[in-house]
C-alpha cells in the first residue's frame, strides 16, 4: 500500500509540472518508475503512456474552454509526427541507437540551457536563418482571433519538425511533446500559452495511439496503470490551478520550459543507463 501511495504522489507532482509547461510528464515518470519502484522498462513506458491520456484530456478541456488551442498548428505537427513515429520504430534496427540517444540527451540539455540563458532577451525579428526559412513559399499568416494574436507559419517547415519529433519519439521510446513546445515558441514565435495548450492537445492523440500499441505488445498492467492515471488526472487539475494562480508571463513560461528541458535531458540519460544496464 505504501508503494501505491508513493507512486500516486509522484504522479501528481510530475503531472502538475508537465501540465504547466506542456510536456505531459511521461519522460520524467518512466525513470522514476524504474529506479524507485523497480518497474520493468516496458511496463514503465506502458504505464506512463496510459497516465498521459487523462491528464492531456483534462488539460485540453480547460484549454478548449479558454479557446487557447491552435488546431491548425496541431494538425501540421501531429500528422507528420505519427508518420515519424513509425519511421523511428523501424530505424531502431539499422542505426546505432545508443550513440544517437546520448547525442540527443546532450542536445536537449543544451537547448534547456539556451532557453534559460535567453528567456529574458528580446527576440530580434527580421534576422536569422529561421526568419528566412519561415518565409518560404508555403508560409502564411495565422490569425488567432480568440486571443487577438497573429504569427507567421510555414506549413512545410512545421510538418518537417513534426516528422523529426515523431521519428525521435519512435526511435528513443519517449514522447516528443517536450521538443514541440519550445519549437513552437522559438522557431515560430507562437505565444507560450497557445504553444503549451496546443502541445497538450497533440498529446491526447499521441497517448491514444501509444496506448493501443503498448496494449497489443502486452506492456500494460491495468492494476498498476489505473492508479497512475488517477494521479495524473489529479496532477493536471493541480497544474491548472497553479498556473492560474501564478498568472505566468511569457518569460516565466519560457524559464519553466528551460528547466523542464534540462530535467528531460537528464531523464533521457537515466533512461539510457537503465535500458542498456551500464
Spatial distance between the Cα atoms of 60 and 181, rounded to a whole number of angstroms: 15
Read off the pLDDT of each residue in 121-150 and give the average, rounded to a whole number. 67
This prediction has a pTM of 0.81
Q: Could you give the CA distance from residue 136 to residue 151 in angstroms, rounded to a whole number?
A: 15
pLDDT value at 78 more than 70: yes
Per residue in 16-43, pLDDT (tens digit) is: 998 888 887 877 888 888 888 888 877 8
CA angle centred on 231, ends 7 and 30, rounded to 5°: 55
User: Phi and psi (nearest 5°) for 126?
Assistant: 60, 30
If one counts the domains in the chain, the total is 1
pLDDT digits (tens, 9 = 90+) for 164-201: 887 877 666 566 677 888 888 888 888 888 999 999 99
Tell which residue, 57, 54, 66, 76, has the closest CA to residue 201: 57
CA distance 66 to 126: 31
Contact predicate 85/169, CB 8 Å: yes
CB 165 within 8 A of CB 80: no
In 10 A of CB 249, how many CB atoms? 11
Q: Which residues span the domain enclosing 207? A: 2-276
* pLDDT tens digit sequence for 105-124: 888 888 888 888 876 665 55
Amino acid at each position: 500500500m505504501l508503494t501505491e501511495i508513493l507512486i500516486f504522489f509522484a504522479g501528481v507532482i510530475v503531472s502538475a509540472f508537465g501540465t504547466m509547461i506542456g510536456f505531459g510528464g511521461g519522460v520524467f515518470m518512466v525513470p522514476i518508475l524504474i529506479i524507485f519502484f523497480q518497474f520493468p522498462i516496458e511496463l514503465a513506458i506502458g504505464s506512463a503512456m496510459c497516465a498521459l491520456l487523462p491528464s492531456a484530456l483534462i488539460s485540453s478541456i480547460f484549454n478548449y474552454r479558454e479557446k487557447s488551442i491552435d488546431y491548425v498548428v496541431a494538425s501540421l505537427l501531429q500528422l507528420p509526427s505519427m508518420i515519424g513515429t513509425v519511421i523511428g520504430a523501424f530505424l531502431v534496427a539499422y542505426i546505432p541507437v545508443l550513440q544517437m540517444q546520448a547525442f540527443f540527451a546532450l542536445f536537449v540539455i543544451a537547448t534547456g540551457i539556451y532557453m534559460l540563458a535567453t528567456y529574458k532577451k528580446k527576440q530580434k525579428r527580421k534576422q536569422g536563418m529561421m526568419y528566412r526559412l519561415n518565409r518560404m513559399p508555403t508560409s502564411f499568416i495565422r490569425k488567432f482571433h480568440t486571443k487577438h494574436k497573429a504569427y507567421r507559419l510555414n506549413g512545410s517547415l512545421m510538418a518537417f519538425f513534426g516528422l523529426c519529433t515523431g521519428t525521435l519519439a519512435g526511435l528513443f521510446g519517449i514522447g516528443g511533446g517536450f521538443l514541440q513546445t519550445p519549437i513552437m515558441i522559438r522557431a515560430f514565435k507562437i505565444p507560450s500559452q497557445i504553444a503549451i495548450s496546443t502541445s497538450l492537445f497533440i498529446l491526447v492523440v499521441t497517448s491514444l495511439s501509444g496506448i493501443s500499441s503498448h496494449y497489443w505488445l502486452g506492456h500494460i498492467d491495468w492494476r498498476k496503470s489505473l492508479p497512475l492515471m488517477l494521479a495524473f488526472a489529479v496532477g493536471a487539475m493541480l497544474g491548472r490551478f497553479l498556473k492560474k494562480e501564478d498568472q505566468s508571463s511569457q518569460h516565466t513560461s519560457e524559464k519553466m520550459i528551460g528547466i523542464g528541458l534540462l530535467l528531460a535531458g537528464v531523464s533521457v540519460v537515466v533512461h539510457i543507463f537503465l535500458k542498456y544496464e551500464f
